[in-house]
């Protein structure tokens, strides 16, 4: 046999084996290098997408799966391109103008518009921070019931603030990227259940929706926790901050330094982050539908019930896995929530800002982060159910988002501001489309809420 091989290839058989073995090693090393390069190039987009699946998002998706089974799986593929489009616009604004979103609003719109957006963002983010910290504390009590709720709430607040204030942004961003991997536990949980893949696929591609109060509110919550105002400001500011770390310390330098390759790299980063976010959303809904809905648990009232969706993969350790997921995504999201509000406030009033600065260099910037975090902490002691607070936070984000989306579309479509990198016609059509959809869903949510109060 070896002689036949030698005749065909003109080389000893053992030499051929070594060549094949060497080629396999080269291919493997090349694949690893490419994967490392891809991971290294991921930055604000991945962090932004991962922080979108915060405890508020987990609660909203779990409730959607528990209440309606697979019915709302279509929301994941539906929102993915829209979410990617909006975040790409925000990132592009940051790269092309060299300024954050609030700074651009301050320059190109009346002051009352800027102050309204900043106030709405601060309110929505503070509510979201409070809900996230409360959920982190309650989920930790599932594993460590002996620790007092208040101790956990203040503990998570201080740890989060410590990381933001005393750890350099470069290191912190690296940690945030690895925390994003915590979200994979939800995908594994869903795949551990005997899923009906035909039904899964049908609900993923064929939208179904009933115009009832409950379904309108859950859609508003899903839209609010995927296309969230805090992500708009964070994404824009982080693109600016990444370039500041490269030495582009002035607006002029940042505007002149932007290249087509940088825009392409940003788009890959954004799409990767949004894909991760929506993939996790899809499987959280699927997992909750396959475990909770299938067993008659159609309304999640406690963190214990939410955690049970992970039982197929974790068994008796479901509470532990749930805690790691909630705490991991919470630690990822709280800095984004507090930071985006602080970027907006600082840019609005012309304060020094940036996570790359030390506390003494940007007192006001870090002061807003501290105030927003502790106002969120205070909300945990007014007697609101943690899970209801999480979904309420998502709904509020859904109501605020259309207001800011209008400004994003006007900025990113303006050729005087963006030059040749302004929005193309397709981007405008889809951008205004999601804005109108979110505005209509928000208006319907307000109508049904007021009607139920009468």
Comparing 137 with 258, which gets the higher pLDDT? 137
pLDDT at 439: 92
Comparing 14 with 55, which gets the higher pLDDT? 55
pLDDT at 144 over 70: yes
Q: Enumerate the domain spans of the chain.
A: 55-418+428-453
Task: Indicate the pLDDT class of residue 2, thresholds 50, 70 and 90.
Answer: very low
pLDDT tens digit sequence for 146-170:
999 999 999 999 998 998 888 865 6
Q: pLDDT over 70 for what percent of the chain?
A: 84
Mean pLDDT of 329-339: 85
pLDDT at 27: 46
Task: Indicate the pLDDT class of residue 416, thresholds 50, 70 and 90.
Answer: very high
pLDDT at 37 over 90: no
CATH architecture of 55-418+428-453: Up-down Bundle (1.20)
pLDDT at 141 over 80: yes
pLDDT at 6 over 60: no
Give the whole-angstrom CA distance, residue 7 versus residue 19: 16
Q: How confident is the prediction for the chain on average, in pLDDT?
A: 82
Task: Indicate the pLDDT class of residue 298, thresholds 50, 70 and 90.
Answer: confident
Torsion, Cα of 323, 325, 329, 331 (10° steps): 40
Give the whole-angstrom CA distance, residue 46 versus residue 412: 21
pLDDT at 243: 79
CB-side exposure of 372: number of CA atoms within 13 Å? 34
Comparing 242 with 431, which gets the higher pLDDT? 431
Task: Indicate the pLDDT class of residue 41, thresholds 50, 70 and 90.
Answer: low
Enter the pTM of the model: 0.83
pLDDT at 9 over 50: no
Contacts of 183 (CB under 8 A, 6+ apart): 50, 53, 276, 280, 325, 328, 329
Task: Answer yes or no: are the C-beta atoms of 67 and 218 closer than 8 Å.
Answer: yes
pLDDT at 428 over 60: yes
Contacts of 309 (CB under 8 A, 6+ apart): 62, 65, 66, 189, 284, 287, 288, 291, 292
pLDDT tens digit sequence for 87-132:
999 999 999 998 889 999 999 999 999 999 999 999 999 999 998 9
**444, 418, 325: which is closest to 98 by C-alpha?**
418
Output the CA torsion sign for 303, 307, 308, 314: negative
């Amino acid at each position: 046999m070896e002689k036949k091989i030698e005749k065909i290839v003109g080389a000893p058989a053992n030499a051929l084996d070594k060549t094949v073995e060497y080629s396999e090693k080269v291919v493997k090393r090349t694949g690893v290098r490419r994967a490392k390069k891809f991971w290294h190039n991921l930055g604000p987009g991945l962090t932004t997408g991962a922080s979108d699946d915060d405890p508020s998002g987990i609660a909203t998706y779990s409730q959607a799966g528990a209440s309606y089974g697979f019915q709302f799986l279509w929301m994941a593929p539906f929102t993915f391109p829209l979410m990617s489009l909006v975040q790409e616009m925000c990132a592009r604004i940051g790269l092309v103008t060299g300024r954050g979103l609030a700074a651009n609003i301050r320059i190109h719109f009346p002051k009352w518009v800027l102050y309204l957006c900043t106030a709405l963002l601060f309110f929505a983010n503070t509510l979201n921070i409070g809900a996230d910290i409360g959920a982190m504390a309650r989920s930790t009590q599932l594993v460590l019931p002996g620790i007092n709720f208040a101790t956990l709430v203040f503990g998570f607040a201080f740890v989060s603030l410590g990381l933001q204030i005393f750890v350099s942004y470069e290191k912190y961003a690296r940690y945030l990227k690895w925390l994003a991997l915590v979200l994979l536990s939800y995908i594994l949980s869903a795949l551990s259940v005997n899923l009906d893949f035909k039904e899964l696929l049908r609900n993923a591609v064929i939208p179904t929706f009933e115009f009832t109060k409950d379904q309108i509110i859950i859609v508003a919550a899903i839209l609010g926790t995927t296309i969230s105002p805090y992500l708009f400001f964070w994404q824009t500011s982080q693109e600016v901050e990444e370039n500041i770390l490269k030495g582009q310390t002035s607006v002029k330098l940042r505007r002149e330094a932007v290249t087509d390759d940088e825009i392409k790299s940003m788009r890959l980063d954004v799409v990767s982050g949004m894909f991760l976010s929506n993939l996790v959303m899809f499987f959280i809904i699927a997992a909750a539908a396959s475990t909770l809905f299938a067993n008659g648990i159609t309304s999640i009232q406690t963190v214990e019930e939410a955690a049970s969706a992970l039982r197929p993969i974790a068994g008796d350790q479901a509470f532990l896995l749930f805690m790691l997921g909630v705490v991991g995504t919470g630690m990822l999201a709280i800095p984004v929530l507090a930071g985006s509000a602080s970027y907006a406030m600082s840019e609005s009033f012309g304060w020094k800002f940036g996570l790359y600065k030390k506390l003494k260099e940007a007192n006001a910037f870090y002061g807003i982060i501290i105030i927003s975090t502790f106002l969120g902490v205070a909300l945990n002691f007014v007697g609101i159910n943690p899970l209801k607070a999480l979904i309420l936070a998502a709904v509020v984000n859904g109501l605020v988002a259309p207001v800011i989306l209008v400004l994003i579309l006007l900025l990113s479509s303006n050729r005087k501001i963006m030059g040749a990198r302004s929005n193309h016609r397709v981007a405008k059509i889809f951008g205004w489309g999601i804005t109108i959809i979110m505005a209509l869903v928000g208006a319907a949510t307000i109508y049904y809420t007021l009607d139920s109060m009468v």
